[in-house]
Copies of this chain bind each other. A is one copy, B any other.
Amino acid sequence: MTVPGSSPMQDYALTVDRFLDHGAKWHGQAQVITAGQDEDCAIGYAALRERANHLSGALLSLGLHAGERVATLAWNTQHHVEVWYAAMGAGLVCHTLNPRLTVAQLAAMISEADDRVLAVGAGLGMLAEALVAACPCLEQVILLDGERPLAAGGRLQPVELEAFLSKRGAPVPWGRIDERSLAGLCFTSGTTGAPKGVAYTHRSNYLHTLRLLQADAMALTAADTILVAVPMFHANAWGLPFAAPAVGAGLVLPGRVTDGRSLMELINRRGVTVAVGVPTVWIGLLDHLDAVGGDTPGLERIIIGGSSCPEALLARMESRLGVTVQTSWGMTELSPLGTISPRSTAPGAARGAGRPPIGVDLLLADADGAALPDQRNAVGHLKVRGQSAVDHYFGGTDSALDADGWFDTGDLAIIDDDGNLTLAGRSKDLIKSGGEWINPVEIEDIVGALPAVGLVAVIGRPDPKWGERPLMVVEPANGGDIDEGALKASLKGRVADWWIPDRIVQVEAMPLAATGKINKTQLRATYGGA
């Protein structure tokens, strides 16, 4: 007997443990591969599900309760995937940490999240010890990937994963969780201001996964083997550890090592069909292939994102590797996928960062927040609504949305007639001069194309007459010196005269943020004074 008025369709909660359950039941022999120095480690989804489920029991035996956080400081490995599902399946929250951040940054995140357990991957034991010392909330350290306890010891005695499993592992029922409860936590890199925690729910991750699996999105199938070269601490590795078992695709995890030679060998050794990661990684692969005359004949597609990709690199990837490159745009706040170009994109065709799949709404607005009257072919401030988009940050109560429920990405973008999105800089980087806006990206694109220029950034500098004026910072290519007149001449006639920077500063090395992007915050601190 059902309650009158209740839903006539089953109340089937959208929780992420179902992905691994599905993989275990329907594709139990499909493999998760972790690259090793000597040999790879392989496990099927059925066995991995068994281990992760027992690990849930071990975590719960520590006295953890639903909603409490388990932190991971680890590379892409089988053990990391096991901790992830063990935590989420049991109703705990998996908080992925970026090992490339500083102790102070990580300690702040751990303390804000009030993490009770820290799982630590290969080579990160020293860093973990520093974090244990700095974070009283941590109660247990679990060593993954064969990492050994340090001789020195510290406040806590770490336990190795296999010992932890054999001593405390026990099967527990998964998935008795409200779909709106938290599953994961990931802090934004925070090039401006303090890092902010994005807390993913089971529902948002589940729906994001279904977004990825669409034939016009990542189009993963049981016939695919997927190389995940994007870290699991980077917005859930773009959701691939969810998507792969949900369709029974093979999952290839490179661990820490993503140099060109290692990736080439891994791709060929494991029959990778789809490779996913930021453009930098694929430059390394291309350079290595060119250097040794190598090839990756089984590779069919590369999916990139994380930063926009120059057309020349796209063309090089497609011609050298014989693959289709799918571009994408996303953010930690979007779980992360916002737009993606389809696999059917013809080689050489313009694609920008692709179109949004169903479940992502985009809006271009003016500087005052009002929707542009024409949403095509005009640069606007990019706002998002969607089923996997942030409402408010972790621990906060202030909504991250505007009055109409839109999340302002902070990006500037343009959409073409086919609906393809192209990013056009960050709104905070806009320079207001004489009451009008200058978009530094347009200047940077022109100057950056000059052979003599390595990196270039344009920032605003207070000006008593105009409010702000643009200043250009240039890192010459190959350590050379650049003629300032030539730089300005390159802009003449291509941007308005008043957009041309008054001052040009040449630097030996451009400051970069942890993400590899130019650190404009630091540039402003150094050169942005009046």
Contact B213 A390 (CB under 8 A): no
Establish whether residues A387 and B216, one from each chain, have CB atoms under 8 Å apart when the complex forms: no
Q: How far is the CA of A399 from the CA of B385 in the complex (A)?
A: 36
Task: Report B-chain residues with C-beta under 8 Å of the C-beta of A220.
Answer: 215
CA distance A385 to B10 in the complex (A): 8
Residue A319 at the B interface, CB < 8 A?
no
Write the chain B residue with the least CB distance to A8.
B199
A357 to B215, alpha carbons, bound, how many Å? Answer: 13
Contact with B along A158-193 (1 / 0, CB 8 A): 000000000000000000000010100000000000
Chain B residues, CB < 8 A from A19: 358
Q: Does A2 lie within 8 Å of B387, measured CB to CB? A: no
B393–A9 CB distance below 8 A: no
**Which chain A residues in 185-230 approach chain B with CB under 8 Å?**
198-201, 203-204, 207, 209-211, 213-216, 218-223
A348 CB to closest chain B CB, in angstroms?
17
- In the complex formed, the residue of B with least CB distance to A247 is B216
Is A246 interfacial (CB 8 A cutoff)? Answer: yes
State A216–B393 Cα separation when bound (angstroms).
35
Q: Let me know if A356 is at the binding interface, CB within 8 A.
A: yes
Q: Which of B11, B198, B405 contacts A8 (CB 8 A)?
A: B198
Given contacts A214-B214, A216-B221, contact A358 B246 (CB under 8 A): yes
Does A18 interact with chain B (Cβ within 8 Å)?
yes
Q: Is the CB of A356 within 8 A of B26?
A: yes
Task: Tell me which of B4, B213, B397 contacts A215 (CB under 8 A).
Answer: B213
Q: Is the CB of A358 within 8 A of B22?
A: yes
A1-B201 in contact (CB<8A): no
A-B contact pairs, 5 of them (CB 8 A): A8-B392, A9-B201, A10-B391, A215-B215, A215-B218
Q: Knowing that A2-B398, A7-B203, A215-B220 are A-B contacts, what are 6 other residue pairs whose CB atoms are under 8 Å apart, sorted by A's residue number?
A: A1-B397, A8-B198, A8-B200, A210-B213, A210-B358, A216-B247
Which 9 pairs, one residue from A and one from B, show the smallest C-beta to C-beta distance?
A: A9-B204, A215-B219, A12-B387, A210-B210, A8-B199, A246-B358, A215-B215, A7-B180, A216-B221
Residues of A that sit less than 8 Å from B by CB:
1-2, 4, 6-12, 14, 18-19, 22, 25-27, 180, 182, 198-201, 203-204, 207, 209-211, 213-216, 218-223, 246-247, 335, 342, 344, 355-359, 361, 375, 385-394, 396-399, 401, 405, 407, 419
